[in-house]
Structure 1
C-alpha cells in the first residue's frame, strides 16, 4: 500500500542503522540485501539480510514533516511499549525487539529491528484457504485477542497516559480528535460534522457500562497475523494500542457491519456470547469511529486512488443508520 507516511531511506542510511544495531561485522555488502515489505499502510518496513545470512525486519516511523492523524502521533513508541506488555504478560507470540533507536541521529525518525517471521500473512492467504481452516485461524485469533485484553491498565487512554477513570470521556475524546482532524483538512465525510457529534452524544451513555480499562490492540485484523503449520506464528503491528473497552477490537466489527465478514469464529475463540443491547450500541459507536478514520485517513496518507474511500464512505452511512440517522 502506497502512503506518504512511508519514510524510505537510502542504502547508505540503512547500512548505518544495521551497523548501529548489530555491529560492523553484520553490515551487508553487494546488492539485493534489502527489500521493502509492501503490505503495510503506515510505516515503511524492510526485510534485511545481514552479512551472516540472518533475515531481520527494519521498521521506520513516518518523517516528522508529514502530518499524521492525532491518534497516530508517537505510534512507534506505542508499538514498542505494547510489544513489551504482550511479551511479558501473555503467551501470545510477538516479535522480539532486537534494537530500537529514538535518537534521530541516523534518520529523522524512530526505528527498530526485529526478526523476520518466516510465515504466511493471514490477510493475504485467507482467500485461498478452505473455510474451515480460515475459521480455525480466526478462532485462534479470538483466543489470542482475549489473552491480550486480559492485561489491565491504570486507567483508560494512551498507554503512557494521561489516564482517566471514565471510558465515556476517553472514547468521546478519541472521536472528537478524529473529527477535528477531518475538519482541519476539509475531508468530505458525507455528513455534517456536528451531526456526527450529536449522534455520538446521543448514545454515549452506553459507554458507562465499561469500568475496567484493558489493553486493546484495536488494529488486530487478519493482515496483522502471521500463520504457519496451522497455528498463529506471530502477531504484528501494535502501534495503535491503548487502554479501553475490548469490544472495540477489530474482530467484533462484523457483528454490526457485514462487509467485515462473519465474526462467529473469532467470537467463538474469544469465548464472547451474543452481544447485549447495550453492547450492540457501543459496538455501533466503534464502527462509526472506525469508518470515520478510514475515510479521513485517505487524505492524510495521500492515497493516489479512491479505493479505500469508496469502500468506507457507504459503510459510514451504514454505521450512522445503525445509530438512528439516515439520509432524507
Structure 2
C-alpha cells in the first residue's frame, strides 16, 4: 500500500502499489474527487480514500465523503481496451442483475450511483453502500473460527446459492446480454469467446476449441430448457461475515458481476463446493443448504464441459496476473477433462 496526500485539498489517499504493466490501472485523487462530484454534487469533498485489496478486476476504494453519514465504496472498471471479450462490461452486467437478485437483497450493497458515460474518467464506475462485517477470506473471517464451525458457513453458502438458482429468466447467457435461445448456444458462445481471448494473448487455445467441438454435438446440453440465474462468482472471497458472531454467519455478498442465465450446475459456486470433497465444504450439500446435486450420466457429461469453461477462464486470469505456473497447470487439467469427454 502507498499513502500520499491527494491534490484535491489534501485528500488522504492510500493506494495499492502495482507494476507499470499491471492490468489494474491507477485511479488518482482527482479521479475520485470527480466521481464524487458527479454523484453527490460540487460541494462534496473526498476526505479519505483507501484502495481495497482482494479484487483482481475492478479498482475498489472505501471513500469518506463530506455529507455522507458513513464511507461509501467506489468501484472503477478496467479501461475498455483491456477487457477480455469473455469479460466485457462486467460492471454493467452486475447492475442489470440487481433486480433479479432481490432474493438475496438484504445481503447485498445498495447502488448509490453509476456512470457508463465515460465523461468523468473514461471508465465505467459505480458507488455502493459499505457492507458491515469482515471479509470471509480475511484474518477476522472464516479462519478465525475452528474448522468444525466452517460447516455452518458452507451450509449458509448452499442456501444462498439455492435461492439465486431458483430465479427463472428470459434467455440464456449473460444477464445483460447477449441472450441466446438455447443453453447449447450460450455455452458454445462462452467457450468461443474464451478461445478468442486466449488467441489474442498468444496462448494455445487448441484444447478449448476441442471442447467447443464437443459442445456442438453434446445432446445433454439440450436437456437444459429453463434459464436459471447463476451468481457467476459467489464464493469465500466475495462474502462478508458478521463480526463477533459465535459461529461464522454470512452477513453480506458482493461483486456478483459475472451473473448469467443457464444451468445452475455451471455456476462457479458449484465448482468450488465440489473442489474439496471430504472437508467442511460438504455441508454445502446438506438438505438445509443447497441439497443434493444431480449426478446422472447426462449431468456428469455437462459438468465436464462446465469444468473446461472454468479452466479456460482460470487460464486467462493466471495469465493476466503473470502466473506462468498457473497457466501451465490448466493445460494438464484440461487434458484430463478432454480424456473423459472423448
Shift of 1:73: 1.0
Aligned mate of 2:262, from 244, 250, 254: 244
TM-score, normalised via structure 1 length: 0.86
Are the structure 2 counterparts of residues 22 and 254 from structure 1 closer, same or farther at C-alpha, using a change threshold of 3 Å?
closer
TM-score, normalised via structure 2 length: 0.83
Q: Are residues 1:54 and 2:63 paired?
A: no
Give the structure 2 partner of residue 217 of structure 1: 231
Q: How far does the alpha carbon of each residue in 1:4-63 deviate from its partner, in whole angstroms, 9 at most, with x for none?
A: 44242210121121122223444134xxx1111111011110111223562111000111
Partner-residue secondary structure (3-state), 1:286? helix
Runs of 5+ unmatched residues, structure 2: 1-15
Q: How far does the alpha carbon of each residue in 1:50-82 deviate from its partner, in whole angstroms, 9 at most, with x for none?
A: 23562111000111232x221211111111111
Aligned mate of 2:313, from 293, 303, 323: 293
C-alpha distance in 2, partners of 1:192/1:323? 12
Aligned mate of 1:275, from 275, 295, 300: 295
Shift of 1:319: 2.7
Contact 2:78/2:123 (8 A) holds in 1:
yes
User: Which has the higher relative contact order, 1 or 2, with Cα contacts under 8 A spaced 6 or more apart?
Assistant: 1
Are the structure 2 counterparts of residues 284 and 127 from structure 1 closer, same or farther at C-alpha, using a change threshold of 3 Å?
farther
Give the structure 2 partner of residue 147 of structure 1: 163
Pairwise CA RMSD of aligned residues?
Answer: 2.6
Give the structure 2 partner of residue 319 of structure 1: 337
Are the structure 2 counterparts of residues 315 and 221 from structure 1 closer, same or farther at C-alpha, using a change threshold of 3 Å?
farther
Q: Are residues 1:170 and 2:177 paired?
A: no
| Count of aligned pairs between the two proteins | 315
Contact 1:48/1:56 (8 A) holds in 2:
yes
Runs of 5+ unmatched residues, structure 1: none
**Equivalent residue runs for 1:1-328 within 5 Å:** 4-29=22-47, 33-51=48-66, 54-66=70-82, 68-87=83-102, 89-91=103-105, 93-124=107-138, 125-188=141-204, 192-201=207-216, 204-228=218-242, 229=245, 230-254=248-272, 257-258=275-276, 263-268=281-286, 269-299=289-319, 301=320, 303-306=321-324, 308-310=326-328, 312-324=330-342
C-alpha distance in 1, partners of 2:142/2:327? 23
